[in-house]
Amino acid sequence: MNVVQRQQWTIASFLAWEERQERPWEFDGFQPVAMNGGTFWHDDISANLRSALKSRLVGRPCRPLGPNVKIRSAHSVRYPDCVVTCTRQPGTSTIVEAPVVVFEVLSPSTSRTDRIDKAREYLEIASIMRYLILEQDSVAATAYQRDSGAWRATTLTKDDALALPEIGISFPLAECYAGIEFDSAADGAT
């Protein structure tokens, strides 16, 4: 009987394999996961977020990065939509050291992964103080704040501020959704 052996993936073997790929892949702790393309809304929200962060962090040691750099937990490798670090990074590095705040823009295909798997993985990274999941189809977010080794969740809507005391800034959540017009049926919050 022929038995096909599956490759035992480690983070090191994944990172070596990914370097040879044409597009980015995530590692969920067991196997490589293809990165899917996004929507216009996803791209707009991500760009607005990075712009809001960048303009407020000028002259400070913290800086926003993403989506082309990865973060690594004990068992996974992820490409967040945006990550803020306050640690100086080598220009040639592809892995963010000491991420402080991590953002994901939710997609229907990534909802479970972002809300459950990544929330657990990001909690493993001691430097991450806040994890934010921004909805893609309405002006809303879930903010997870580290609290005694667990996440404490807060729901944000269009009139709320995105408070990021870990990096000393705050701005209206609605700024992340500038220029996006949702259908009124799809977004009861706007």
User: Residue 185 has what DSSP assignment?
Assistant: T
- The pLDDT of residue 6 is 62
pTM for the complete prediction? 0.89
Q: Where exactly are the structural domains of the chain? A: 38-177
Of the pLDDT bands very low, low, confident and very high (cuts 50, 70, 90), residue 1 is very low
Question: How confident is the model over 124-145, as a mean pLDDT?
Answer: 96
Q: What one-letter code names the amino acid at 84? A: V
Burial label for 134, CB within 10 Å (0-12, 13-18, 19+), is buried
Q: Above 70 in pLDDT, residue 21?
A: yes
- Torsion (CA) 80, 86, 92, 93 in degrees, nearest 10: -50
The percentage of the chain sitting over the pLDDT mark of 90, rounded to a whole number, equals 76
Q: Which two tokens stand for residue 127?
A: 């430097």
Q: Each residue of 26-35: pLDDT tens digit? A: 999 899 998 8
Which pLDDT belongs to residue 107? 87
What is the band of 110 on the pLDDT scale with cuts at 50, 70, 90? Answer: confident
Cα–Cα distance for residue pair 102/53, rounded to 1 Å: 12
> Residue 52 and residue 139: Cα distance in Å, rounded?
15
Domain 38-177 top-level CATH class: alpha beta
Nearest in space to 114 (alpha carbons), one of 163, 147, 153, 167: 153
**3 state SS of 101:** strand
Percent of the chain predicted with pLDDT > 70: 93
- The CA distance from 136 to 40, in Å, is 10
Is 70 exceeded by the pLDDT of residue 187?
no
The residue to which tokens 């293809």 are assigned: 34
Write down the pLDDT at residue 184: 58
Longest dimension (CA), the chain: 65
Nearest to 147 by CA among 123, 170, 182: 123
pLDDT at 55: 97
Neighbours of 95 (CB within 10 A): 13
Arithmetic mean of pLDDT, 54-62: 96
Residue found by looking up tokens 């879930």 in the block: 142
